[in-house]
Amino acid sequence: CGLCLHPHGVLPPDADAVRVKINTVQVMQGLEPGFLGLAPAKGVYLVTSVVDGISEQPVTFNGQVHERVKNGDVLPIGTEGGRDQPLNVYLKEGGLPSILGMSVVVFRSNENLRQFGGLIAEVTADKRYEQLTSIIATAAKAAVPAYGIIFQAANEIIGLVGSLLK
């Protein structure tokens, strides 16, 4: 099934897959020319990260670059700009995770936008990223997983993405 949760956020006992998708993202504010004394925005980065505690790489990234976005716009997150297509950020079939955390953030950019692949390569090459993913992997494999530490480290990774974008 997709992420078909029962009440209380528990997967059905017969579930054999988890899929997390984003259907719609609307930019509400922050793209005004001269917002907070900044140069006009040239676009936005939509960045997602997912922590599942079981993958070889404990944090996976997905994202897109969008130019010519204005306040109130709905990002064209589907394939080829189709708004009826979701952005799939996670799919796991078999061996379902005991923890699943997702972060979604939209970063405004006043600079020429970079391709998303290059940004993620820069993040994963950073020493801070290596340290944080090591913390996540260790905390997830503990006899009693340290969920608070896992999610704090995952949030720090999103902060690292933001610091690299400046």
Rounded to two decimals, what is the model's pTM? Answer: 0.79
- Please give the pLDDT value at position 78: 66
Q: How far from the centroid of its chain's Cα atoms is residue 15's Cα?
A: 24
Q: Crossing angle for the helix pair 147-165 and 127-141, nearest 10 degrees? A: 160
* Contacts (Cβ under 8 Å, ≥6 apart) of 55: 92
C-alpha span between 17 and 35 (Å, rounded):
43
What ranges in 3-142 are assigned the alpha helix state H? Answer: 116-125, 127-141
C-alpha span between 143 and 77 (Å, rounded):
39
Q: Quick one: CA dihedral 117, 98, 8, 1, positive or negative?
A: positive
- Please give the pLDDT value at position 31: 83
**DSSP strands (E only) in the chain:** 17-22, 43-51, 59-67, 87-93, 101-109
pLDDT 10s digit of each residue in the chain, 166 long? 334 444 445 667 788 888 888 888 899 988 877 666 677 788 899 998 888 877 777 888 888 888 888 899 988 886 555 556 778 888 888 878 878 888 888 988 888 888 788 888 899 899 999 999 989 888 888 888 888 888 888 889 888 988 888 7
8-state DSSP, 25? -
Strand partners, 22: 87
